[in-house]
Structure 1
Amino acid sequence: MELIKVKQNQGSNNTFFPDSNKQLQNNRLVLSEKEKIEPNPFIEANTMQVTMEHLKKDCIVPVFKDSEVAISHTEFVETAINAVSASLGNVEITRPQLRVSHMVKGRTPDALHIPTKDLQDHQKTIFYERVAWVSKIPSQTKIINGNEVSLCVGGVKSYSTDNLHSKHSVQRFKMFIGYVNKICTNLCISTDGYKDEIKVMSTHELGEKVAQLVSNYDADFHLNTMERLSQFTLSEKQFGQLIGKAKLYNYLPKSEKQELPNLMLTDNQFSTIAKDYYNDVNFCRSKDGSIDLWKLYNLCTGAVKSSYIDTFLNRNLNAFQFVNGLAQTLNGDSKYQWFLD
């Protein structure tokens, strides 16, 4: 990505944070005094929390080879929120929680040959290659198996998926509408509430695609499916078998793996699930060692938080598909039986 091919946000002062590692350790560097660090963010990995104000005022925006400006992270968030609100009858949507990663540093043209130690703040530029965000819809709150969940919307953007070295062309976005579990901020995403790739040329197209996603989403079916998970239980032996088979999955011969449902969670994430089976305050095992699938689902979505922005939403959806597949197996379907045998 060519750093000289960027446009600054209007009014940008190009505030620069000289040590990205320090920035990850002290997120307050990019938060206003009115903002607070989320104690339990919806995604962790290598991300940090920022504000819309920071993205608008302190960050430059990449452009295409022909100098056509790309859709910025803030335009993505604002366009999506407006489209969702209008689609749901102008509902109130909370301020987005924003997490970014992969800071890209640059310089203004007049500072190309200045030693790093002599650079002035106004000669330094930054933008973030990737952003993930979530906003809640407080008026749409339900109770599932004793847990309060709120309807939410969010998305992911990575400039790495765009061909900025060509003339103005499509940009790609990920978008979802689903629920967030209040006590753990785990996202709950279903198949019809998620678009893995939205291709658009403008914010107008983006708004239309987001509105279409919202109209296709069946919130009641999603809620009923999640509520049903508590009706199915794994014994301690079955849970142990599941963890062992899940860890074996990635080492299967290709021919054998192709015969099984897709599983995207990593070995480390299943290790986290195994640990939380014993230690999680809200979703650990019962006294007899059994665990219902609602709790298991939340252990999975909690473990998925360790994913990078690029794979986070896909793995979250896969956790929903995986646990529902286990429910179907316990109900007589054989598709996921391998994981429990």
Structure 2
Amino acid sequence: MSLTKSHRAAGLLAALLLLLAAVALSLALGARQLTLSDAWRGLVDESAAGYTVVHQMRLPRTLLGLLAGAALGLAGGLMQALTRNPLADPGLLGVNAGAAAAVVTAIGLLGITSLSGYVWFAFAGAALVSVLVWAVGGGRGATPVRLALAGTAVNAALYAYVTAVQLLDTASLDRMRFWTVGSLAAAQPSTVAAVAPFIAAGVLLTAVLARPLNVLMLGDDSARALGARPTRTRAWAVAAVTLLCGAATAACGPIIFVGLMVPHLVRPLTGPDLRWLLPYCAVLAPLALLGADVLGRTVARPGEVPGGVVTAVLGGAFFLAVVRRARLVAA
């Protein structure tokens, strides 16, 4: 059962405090351990011993985790509302794979190595695959199962293509091998600056769409009776998902399951109201991604496990639990 408005506001504040704690840990933990006080001094004092570590490595990585996490969480919430599919996720429905395939094409075949160049390929790939999965899944008659199956098939084909391009271009293999599993490790200030405007535009568009999508969940006929325009709302929602997923994937690779897990965890607190669900997703998804990244840094120190691997392991178990629960309810 969803919470009252005051309880939702209090819960959102608690989530923000947890996110702040995750940011502090992200700045402090890694191959070189810093205390929280050392991390703070490294953040604000140029003469501090940890200044270089914090500003050149940890801060860009943390900022990218915040941006990419918010983008993936909002995209997942949008996709689940748009398709009325509780299993919808940018990773499961092939959107991230489309962006990844386009970026690998740009890097491996066209020689485009700058983020500002291949981010446009990521947008195009995400948009094309969104339309393809929707069409293969049945279009207006698509069901959650058909969309999931279509997304799985497209995912498999695109990741096979990604692997083939990497194997054919050995020079690009080393450069792309960490990117293709999803990681924040290569974050740089220029990376954050390049994707921030696109993610900001996607977030703004998502905020505008929250109320129209709430109406759209009543059904197209009811939505039209209330003055909504379903076709235009869906088109803008696809544009928002493309901006969010394309920018996040271009910056840190295809990270899956964040967009699936977070809306599921949030919905018991907020109910279906997107005016509350989406802000919760924008806070808790970065918390999940930064938590996975910090965990990956600490379990294999001085090396690290890419954050995308951690989210895949945890998210895979969560996905199986969701499917099992749905079967039990259906039975």
Specify the TM-score bucket, using the shorter chain as the normaliser.
under 0.3
Bigger relative CO (Cα 8 Å, ≥ 6 apart):
2
**More helix as a share of residues:** 2
- Structure 1 length-normalised TM: 0.26
- Structure 2 length-normalised TM: 0.26
Larger Rg: 1 or 2?
1
